[in-house]
Amino acid sequence: MRRVVLAVACLAAAVACGGKAGAPNPASPGPSGFPAAPEGLPGVLDIPVGSAKHVNGQVSYPTAPPAGGDHQAVWQNCGFYSAVIIDEAAVHSLEHGAVWITYRTDIDSATKSKLTALAESGTHVLVSPYPSNPTLIVVTAWGRQLRLEAFDDAQVARFVATYAKSGPTVPEPGAPCRGGVGTPPDRPNR
């Protein structure tokens, strides 16, 4: 009974302050548990990243794939990889302004071709398989993530335009995404 009274009081307060009953709050957590990003791009989540220190070894991230946080001292070279890359190296690339697009290995060949072309079209686009993706495609920048059940050219292009290289969340805008580790397409650690 007490919970019902409290819920009604909260709803009444929201309506009295100009809110609408049942209207989604863009700052409230969505189905993933993370709130919408303040830039207003549909579906983009605001992911907390914590600190951004250089560390040795593995890091436990709040999302898979990670959207920032502590990472290796050397970044992953941007480009298209057909082999899984190390999270901690990819996170360092995110710190430099990379957009990391991960895909499940069950994507079709047409989508894989589009991802390859996208990786080759920009200096700060990193693409790699990620078998445990929560959706078919996940597009990630530092502190931001877009989860897609199917590749959407327009949504991905808006995400890359907003966040790549010098986006509002990039800790080291314009830092290189070359000269680190990895040789696309299949040598992630060289």
Tell me the whole-structure pTM to 2 decimals: 0.83
Torsion over CA: 151, 84, 53, 58 (sign): positive
Output the pLDDT for position 31.
52
pLDDT for position 122: 84
pLDDT in tens, 134-171: 999 999 999 999 999 999 999 999 999 999 999 999 99
Going from N- to C-terminal start, the domains of the chain cover 26-163
